[in-house]
Amino acid sequence: ALLCSSAAAVVLLKWLARRQIRQKMEEARRTRDLALERMEKAAHRFKQENPGTQTAHILSLTMVELVEKLKEGSLSPESVLYSYMGKVKALEVTREVNCVIDFIHGCEDQLQKLKKQKEKGLLYGIPISIKDHINCKGHVSSGGMVKFLGQVKEEDSVIVQVLKSQGAIPFVKTNIPQTMINYDCSNLIFGQTLNPLNHRKSPGGSSGGEGALIAGGGSILGIGSDVAGSIRLPSSFCGLCGLKPTGNRIRYIPTSILFFHPLTFVLAVTGMMGPMARDVDSLALCMKALLCEEMFRLDPTVPPIPFDEEVYTSSKPLRIGYYEGDGYFQPSPSMKRAIQQTRKLLQDAGHTLVPFAPPKIDYVVDELFTRGIFSDGAAHLVDCFKGDIVDPNLKSQFNTYRLPVLVKRILAIILKPIVSVWMSAKNLWDQHGAVAVYRTEFIAKWRKLRLDVILCPVLGPAFNHGYAGKLFAATSYTNLYNVLNFPAGVVPVSTVTRADEEELKHYRGHYGDPWDKRLKEAVEGAMGLPVAVQCVALPWQEELCLRFMKEVETLAH
């Protein structure tokens, strides 16, 4: 009787705990709905008071065109902000694909202050969307986790402060996957975000809400973050341009923030913030605006290196290393074709193309990346779920992370890409040393070939729902450059063809293992969806990376 009553009590307590969690989730959804309703009313009010506003024209302009018209006064910041806030785009997009989780209501007050400023910043009047975990005063940074729902931030993050100082107007926050350690975009609080180009597909992640909103036309510029490809993968899946800068070039994000743990993260894998937009010029303008005196004043850890316009606008022929596959995950047919076509375009334009192969890629993914990002065996990540419910899209990963250490040690021998074991302090030092040695080896190979930049694949096309959590190791094409801490950007160059889909039927992968089979299933049914390439430069050479991206964009289109 005592055992039965104890068991019943445990079941009851668990049920009450889950009920409380679900109540918090429902409250968060109600808060979001009220915020979006407030945004809709504000946009409707402006439309009624200004019936002549050319909303369709405003939404059709590139960011560079928009900046010019705002500065010359032919468009007002109000008309631009309310056009993007309006039902035509932002609201329709979020109801269709579920990408916006909050309205930054202070944007209307900021708009009034902006009108009184004498100097117009580089992003004067540009509405900007912000990824969930980037702090905005008066708003929650949930990380898709219930435990953080009540924590309203008291001040803007540095990057938001700098954007505002340059005249930009952050107006919405966007959805992310739970904990942001998945490149899908789903959490149990706000639900699954869909790809606006094909609702059966994922928008990518973890900056998936940004990707979906910008691709759907509801934002012209967004700020994401990237620790394994979280800017570049949504850009690839949604047909956008995205840049992962060198760590600390803008503002470094330790992965402890991504995992919501107060301890300082070991810097074996570097995460950082970066811009996402519809074209490369928008990324360059955003970087130019961010690399300013205000950034260097607010965050003295950011090197005071202004944007080098001369490098970005140079037309000097480039010496470009390239590879069609990394030797770890066989590229999908469209990924491979994108590199082949872009290589030919670049050669025809007078650039020199040199074959390149990343050294020891298995070692990078299995040891340097996986063990670097989960140096504690994912213990802190697992701790985050106490008092929370695991999203179904994350369960495959989570179940692996919470295995006992002994079981992990055994499985790590067989399943290196999937299982990481806890490292001692000495192992941690060795890990840092190994990353430094590998970076030196990679740069030496780069220098020997006298390369300026590298052209390589980025994972794509967009995955079917539910596969990202089962294919974490497929981020090898992007996470390599987090380990190296090189700037890397993504540019769409083509779309999936019928021939690509036919060739995919014969895809076997390098090993013919379950992960190769899953990759084939993940990218099936992508006819007409974007295909991108990745452009890479050496550390601190964001301007050269962007210049290369611009060249690829121009030739491809």
d(CA 557, CA 553) in angstroms, rounded, equals: 6
pTM: 0.94
**Pairing, β 127-131 against β 221-226:** parallel
Average pLDDT of every residue of the chain: 91
| pLDDT at position 263 over 50 | no
Active-site residue identified among 157, 165, 202, 206: 206
Q: Which helix (H) or strand (E) holds 6?
A: helix 2-49
Determine whether 230 is an active site residue. yes
> Do the annotations mark residue 228 as ligand-binding?
yes
240-255 average pLDDT score? 82
Residue 350, annotated as binding a ligand? no
The CATH number that domain 19-360+437-556 falls under is 3.90.1300.10
- Give pLDDT, residue 405: 64
Closest alpha carbon to 367 in 447, 469, 470, 437: 437
**Residue 268, pLDDT score:** 66
Confidence band of 6 (pLDDT split at 50, 70, 90): confident
pLDDT digits (tens, 9 = 90+) for 369-403: 988 887 777 777 888 888 899 999 888 888 877 77
Whether the CA torsion 468, 471, 473, 478 is positive or negative: it is: negative
Q: Is 225 annotated as a binding residue?
A: no
- What integer pLDDT is reported at residue 9 of this predicted model? 77
Print burial letters for 222-255: b (CB count within 10 Å at least 16), e (below 16).
bbbbbbbbbbbbbbbbbbbbbbbbbbbbbbbbbb
Residue 230 labelled as part of a binding site: yes
Which pLDDT value is given to residue 416? 52
Query: Given a cut of 60, is residue 261 above it in pLDDT?
Result: no
Positive or negative torsion for Cα 315, 320, 326, 332: positive
- pLDDT given at position 414: 63
Q: 325 burial class (0-12, 13-18, 19+ CB within 10 angstroms)? A: middle
- CA-CA-CA-CA torsion sign (195, 534, 472, 461): positive
Check if 173 is active-site: no
Q: What is the pLDDT of residues 114-139, one digit of tens each?
A: 988 889 999 999 999 999 999 999 99
- Determine the Cα angle at 144 with ends 138 and 146, to 5°: 80
In the residue annotation, 116 being an active-site residue is answered as no
Is 206 annotated among the ligand-binding residues?
yes
Residue 261 CB contacts under 8 Å (≥ 6 apart), including other chains: 380, 383, 384
pLDDT attached to residue 18 = 87
Q: Which residue among the candidates 230, 236, 282, 420 is catalytic per the annotation?
A: 230
pLDDT of residue 428 exceeding 80, the answer is: no
Q: Which pLDDT tens digit goes with each residue over 141-171? A: 999 999 999 899 999 999 999 999 999 999 9
Question: What are the residue boundaries of the structural domains of the chain, listed by start?
Answer: 19-360+437-556
